[in-house]
Structure 1
Amino acid sequence: MKEFWIQVLAKMEPRVKRAHFVTWFQDTAVLSKKDGLLIIGVPNVYARDWLENKLNGELISAVREVDSAILQISFEVHPNLGLADDKRGVDVKTLVDGGHSPRKVRGKQEVRLAEGVVSKCLNPKYTLQNFVVGQDNRLAHAACMAVSASPGSSYNPLFVYGGVGLGKTHLLQATGNEILRNYSDKVVVYMTSERFTNEIVEAIGKRSSKSFKDRYRNVDCLIIDDIQFLANKEMTQVEFFHTFNELYDNGKQIIISSDKPPKELKGLEQRLTSRFEMGMIVDVQFPDFETRLAILHAKCREHQVLIAPEVLEFVAYNVRNSVRELEGVLLQAIAQSQLEQSTPTIRSVARIVKKLNKIDPLAGYDEKGDDRTVARSPDDVLSIVCKYYKIERDYLVGADRHIGIMRPRQIAMYLIKQELRHSYEEIGRLFSGRNHTTVMHAVDKVLKTLRKDEGLLRDVNALKMEMGM
């Protein structure tokens, strides 16, 4: 059915504006095709409403060109469409041409978009597609999608507010990137309020206020990050007020972010805050546990690393301040595992989290038991290995020769020999009375394999850290 839907989309693409096509058909799929009824899955209610109200007739026509037996279409919302694990949806960006490459300013993280117009570089990693959507940011994401499809007409101005490190900058830059993908000829300027202030001060100093006014009143989309820093800067507020009016009256898109809603901003003129309230106001809240966990999984895929689910759950549960801190803990864990060639564990990650938050106790972790000399006996080693590999002790020391048991058993023998210095005979007795030559073979095999198997090296180093070695 996916091939059928791709054929339909190919028919629709030349009939619809590129921006609308990319926005509203992204990650759609055919759910069912039976008895003349075609059921189309869409990722959100906004896409459903748009397709039903705006493109229903065109879509039926395109569908019947591919299969004349279809008489009716309907839409169902499936939020999982577009997620990495759901392969049903179609990435429509692969069906259309596009691309926009503004000129880079040498030596600076800036681009020159038009004569005299300079913008901070939009980070290409920030997209609306890789922004992890949860209950706490769904409305903000949907508003940005709508703005990127029809800049200047939907939700203008768009005011995004929320605490530090919750994803406002990601949304703003992603919206700018999406507008440029949809409208390659648009001039999109992204800047901080501090940069805006500096340019006004510079223009006043050079007596070139008119050129400044002309410069920023001729852009198609102006994105200002952290507008709260305009507080008590009267000249900057006056100039921004006039720039805002000029852009708004000409149907140009304005996107603003702040740490508070307009009514709570101190030090800003009322005529400014009242204009912020003219459009759409959306907040980005700290994500719930499930969304935090989804963010961690997405970042692991981005960095191409595998981390145990229970470790990610531990991080998601214990980091409760910002998404930025959540990502920071994960990046530190990845860096530490690469430097030490070990696999991240709850113990190693707990130390990272504790450095960032020394006050709150960690859930799911016994801090009193965090002793670097925990493994004092073979029993301690066996317990640590069993917990690490999630196997029963009876299987580890028993006669089972399954490959899933053999490797942990050999590693346990190796650790007891190398770290606790027990004899081969003593180790053999621990493992159901095995011959000392069997233990020698296991230890020797681990030693040789460590030189060429990075996965084994990471596991052994992680176990040593758990042992306090």
Structure 2
Amino acid sequence: MNHEELWRSALGELEFEVSRANFATWFKDTTIRGVEDGVAVVVVPNAFAKEWLEKKFHKQIIKSLRSNAPDVRNATYIVQPPSDTAPQNPKKKSQQSETIEEQLEFKEFSVDRETNLNPKYTFESFIIGSFNEFAHAAAVSLSKNAGSLYNPFFVYGGVGLGKTHLLHAIGNQIKFDHPNYKVLYLTSERFVNELISVLQNREPLNAFKDKYRNVDVLIIDDIQFIAGKVKSEEEFFHTFNSLYERGKQIVFSSDKPPAAIQNLEERLRSRFEAGLTADISEPEYEARLAILKSKVNGREFAPLSDVLEYTASRIQKNIRELEGALNIILAKSKLKGRPLTFDEAKQSLDQITMRLKRVVTTSQIIKAVSEFYDLGESGLFERSRRREIVRPRQIAMYLLREDFHGSYPFIGQKLGGRDHTTALHAYGKISRELKQNLKLVEEVKLIRGKIYEN
């Protein structure tokens, strides 16, 4: 295994370990220069990336490297900006470009500097299924009627389900149809960080305001992270009003609907809900298989049909994890110079799915419920009959029974030393309501997301 192949395989595992935003931000333009005396020399593009990899991701990097090359004991990081690389002959440069393109298909790295949009994320490459067809149809319609239909457009769903792809597709389509339109895509984290930088440096806000208010289309990913940041919420409120009043298109994504975003100002919540809200749920088997087939079309050493079918059946909830698993299979196929057999692919996938399984603890459940309903953890143990306490406690009891498989006496004892009949009543009550109350269904789904993401 050469250095490029080692790093590509390691990145395939790291994609499971870190968030998409961190993966795209800190692992872009990274390579391995070599391995000397068990120490891998990782080349990074700038000092910021070096600092973050050393402080935040070092242990995960070592773990991923060792799983592919057991002789690696440590890693060191050196800075080498991409522009500083030595000149290469056209043939080698072409080969390197192909490698970068293959490397986990880092499509987020090929972005337009003016719009921040990735031109490869289009409606044509978006796989449609029952889990996302409404959101897709709405996105296509609004891209043809920017500013006058579904404004704002708010799409939400779990991690790795294609929200970012859809947002880029909207921006790319509008830019294609209206080349003169000013389209801007960014994450809410970037908006907040830029505002903090301006305030800390005591710079005038005029340039910041002009940047975000003088656009025809503003697309913000992961808007939920703006909640609870008072100054950022205030500035964004005025930005939203300025754009909306002039008929400019605004598009958001979030991991939850506006009503479920904790600590969000009501005036922002009402504006987010004023347009069209669409959700993307977990993909069904047929959609997962279609996604895999689209990814391997025309690829060297494409997996056999039974391997794709098994992959689609094993990884069910997250498209990003599905693609990550496929990338590992492709990387191992390239190392062997042939497609993996079913047994080889099954062994790799079984190792991946074992890593993806989470062991739930009582403290995780109690913490997730407490945070979701904005209570201190001690609130669930209070001897109170107030609805704002009783309801979250009943949901905690339901989850302790359903996900932790605790006995009713154990659950009652865990939540304030209550009788087992209290836990039994809570479980039955929540179970019945979940069949009728869609809001409760959404709340439990979001709480589970917090539990298993952690």
**TM class, shorter-length:** 0.5 to 0.7
* Shift, 1:206, TM fit: 3.1
The equivalent residue for 2:213 is: 217
Structure 1 residue ranges without an equivalent (≥5): 1-107, 114-118, 362-469
Amino acid in the other structure paired with 2:239: T
Which of 192, 197, 206 matches 2:192?
197
Return the letter of the residue paired with 1:351: Q
| Distance in 2 of aligned mates of 1:336 and 1:164 | 26
Among 224, 227, 234, the alignment partner of 1:228 is 224
Q: Which residue of 2 aligns with 1:144?
A: 139
- Partners of 2:293 and 2:256 lie apart in 1 by 29
CA deviations over 1:394-440 (Å, ceiling 9, x no partner): xxxxxxxxxxxxxxxxxxxxxxxxxxxxxxxxxxxxxxxxxxxxxxx
| C-alpha spacing 1:259/1:210, structure 2 compared with 1 (3 Å) | same
> Which letter does structure 1 place at the counterpart of 2:169?
A
For 1:172 and 1:253, the matched residues in 2 are separated by 12
The answer for the alignment partner of 1:168 in structure 2 is 163
Amino acid at match of 2:178: Y
Written as runs of structure 1 = structure 2, the 5 A alignment for 1:69-468 is 113=114, 119-120=115-116, 122-204=117-199, 205-301=201-297, 303=299, 305-358=301-354
TM-score scaled by structure 2? 0.52
Question: How far apart, in 1, do the equivalents of 2:355 and 2:205 lie?
Answer: 51
**Compared CA separation, residues 319 and 228, structure 1 to 2 (3 A):** same
**Counterparts of 2:343 and 2:300 in 1: how far apart (Å)?**
22
After TM superposition, give the deviation of residue 273 of structure 1 in Å: 0.9
Determine the C-alpha separation between the residues in 1 that align with 2:244 and 2:298.
38
CA distance in 2: counterparts of 1:157 and 1:178, whole angstroms: 17
Matches of 1:302 and 1:176 in 2, distance apart? 27
Pair member with larger Rg = 1
How many Å separate the matches in 2 of 1:288 and 1:109? 29
> 1:45-64 alignment to 2 at 5 Å?
none
- One-letter code of the match for 1:199? E
Opposite residue 233 of structure 2, the aligned amino acid is: Q
Amino acid at match of 1:179: I
Q: Tell me: CA distance 1:111–1:279, structure 2 relative to 1, closer, same or farther (3 Å).
A: same
TM-aligned CA distance change 1:163 to 1:302, over 3 Å: farther
Q: What's the CA shift for 1:214? A: 2.2
Cα separation, partners in 2 of 1:280 and 1:126, compared to 1, 3 Å: same
The aligned amino acid for 2:251 is I
Residue identity in the other structure for 1:358: M
The AA in structure 1 aligned to 2:175 is L
Question: How many residues are matched?
Answer: 248
**Alpha-carbon separation, structure 2, partners of 1:236 and 1:257:** 17
Question: Displacement, 1:110?
Answer: 6.7
| 1:34-93, Cα deviation, whole Å (9 max, x unpaired) | xxxxxxxxxxxxxxxxxxxxxxxxxxxxxxxxxxxxxxxxxxxxxxxxxxxxxxxxxxxx
> 1:37: which partner in 2?
none
- SS at 1:207's partner residue? coil
Partner-residue secondary structure (3-state), 2:149: coil
Q: Is the 2:302–2:330 Cα contact (8 Å) retained in structure 1?
A: no
Q: Following the alignment from structure 1 to structure 2, what is the Cα–Cα distance between the partners of residues 139 and 304?
A: 34
Between the aligned residues of both structures, percent identity stands at 47
Q: Which has more helix, going by share of residues?
A: 2
CA distance in 1 between partners of 2:155 and 2:202 (Å):
33
What SS does the aligned partner of 1:213 have?
Answer: helix
Q: CA deviation at 1:125?
A: 1.2
The superposition leaves residues 200-226 of structure 1 with CA deviations (integer Å, 9 ceiling, x where unpaired) of: 112223331122212211100000000
Amino acid at match of 1:187: K
Rounded to whole Å, the distance in 1 between the matches of 2:274 and 2:224 is 17
Name the CA distance, whole Å, in 1 between partners of 2:356 and 2:321: 15
1:29-40 pair list within 5 angstroms:
none
Q: CA deviation at 1:109?
A: 7.3
Mapped partners of 1:216, 1:360: distance in 2: 39
Kindly provide the amino acid, as one letter, of the partner of residue 349 in structure 1: A
Indicate how the Cα distance of structure 1 residues 128 and 360 shifts in structure 2: closer, same or farther if over 3 A, else same: closer
One-letter amino acid of the counterpart of residue 323, structure 1: I
Distance 2:205 2:214 in 1: 15
Q: Paired residue for 1:75?
A: none
Secondary structure of 1:357's counterpart equals helix
> How many angstroms apart in 2 are the aligned matches of 1:284 and 1:244?
24
Residues 303-356 of structure 1: per-residue CA shift (max 9 Å, x gap): 355322111110000101300011111111111011111322222222222222
Q: Aligned to 2:277, what secondary structure does the other structure show?
A: strand
Whether the 8 Å CA contact 2:307–2:346 is kept in 1: the answer is no
